[in-house]
Amino acid sequence: MKSSLVEAIDILKRLSEDEVERAVKILRGIKSEGDKEKKAIIPKCPSCGANRVVCNGHKSGKQAYICRECKKSFVETSKSTRFKSHYGEAVWKQVIRDTVNGIALDETAANLRMHHETVFNMRHKILHCLERDEKENPTQFEGICEMDETYILESSKGTKLPPDYWRKPRRHGEKAVKPGLSNEYICVCAGVERDGQAFSKIVNRAMVGSGDIEMVFGDRISGKTVVVVDGLKGYDVLQEEGKCAVLHVDEMRHSTGDGNFFNVNMVSNYHGFIKERHRNARGFATKYLNRYNALFSKSYRSTDVLVDDIYDLICKSADRNYTIKETQTSDLLEI
């Protein structure tokens, strides 16, 4: 579904030159009123949190402020993901909306009349922020939770493989060289609450072990969690020391004959959601997969307010000023 911003751009393209000039004049008036309203709202200092802040001219087209307590100057986007960005709320929300909906980067860039690399950098700042937020505020599972693993073919999309790499380059859509499960596949561990949230993370190639399961879910469960899994015994590590109860589907069906309660259909549906996004994007680079997992965890069962929630998250002045270099080099998946 198109946002008002994309619709406005489409309308402007169909207007005559005189009509465009009138529209731009009206938009300038609206922007001027908005700037006056923003100027009337004085933010707190992002460095010390003091309220003794006054206006201090403009910097890069943005209202600048100075704190009377710590004497530091700043703009409204300082220390946030939007710092040094030339684009406003509407553009950022459209990039977030397309990211949540799995829209291709080229389509977003074309709709917004922006360069592909600019949209790429904005998208990865958003993804990096989501991944950091997941680390700072881990998803917690309570109640009945289904857990299972799925496998994604490794991808070096956007990177030229060195001559001595352990496998030969392959085109988009090609299958793995080796049959069956091999180190060409990346294991995605996923958990879904039947009445709540989802979470997925990658820690290993090929078959998952009990140590990997403990690393992904160990801090996200409690005594209130009941984990429903398939026949893999590695999940039993989660019930050691009474952390939670683990129920194996095959064993419970055999003992009770109940095929409705004991299943992992919901987590399988989440796996399908992840793989559909991979197909639509023709694969994501493996090094960025956990960033996309943070996005999938948020966007699965998402509501209309998710875009606003993510925008509020990237606007928080909590040292979320991730540079382009940082988003391209830090917290990458290395397996």
Domains and CATH numbers, the chain: 139-303 (3.30.420.10)
For the residues 103-107, what does the mean pLDDT come to?
A: 92
Query: Averaging pLDDT over each range in 25-34, 154-163, 247-256, which range is the top one?
Result: 154-163
For the whole model, what pTM was predicted?
A: 0.83
CA dihedral for 300, 304, 306, 310, sign (positive or negative): positive
Instruction: Decide if 246 contacts 264 (C-beta within 8 A).
Output: no
Instruction: Decide if 70 contacts 48 (C-beta within 8 A).
Output: yes
CA distance 44 to 157: 42
Q: How many residues does the chain have?
A: 335
Q: How far is CA 260 from CA 113, 178, 257, 321, in A?
A: 50, 36, 9, 48
What confidence score (pLDDT) does residue 125 get?
Answer: 93
pLDDT in tens, 276-290: 999 888 889 999 999
Using the predicted structure, report yes or no on whether residue 256 has a pLDDT greater than 80. no
pLDDT in tens, 166-197: 888 888 778 888 888 888 999 999 999 988 88
Q: DSSP letters of 273-298?
A: HHHHHHHHTT---GGGHHHHHHHHHH
Average pLDDT, the chain: 86
Residue 1: which pLDDT band, with cuts at 50, 70 and 90?
very low
CA distance 185 to 179: 11
Assigned token pair, 246? 């683990």
For the residues 2-12, what does the mean pLDDT come to?
A: 81
Assigned token pair, 52? 């003794």
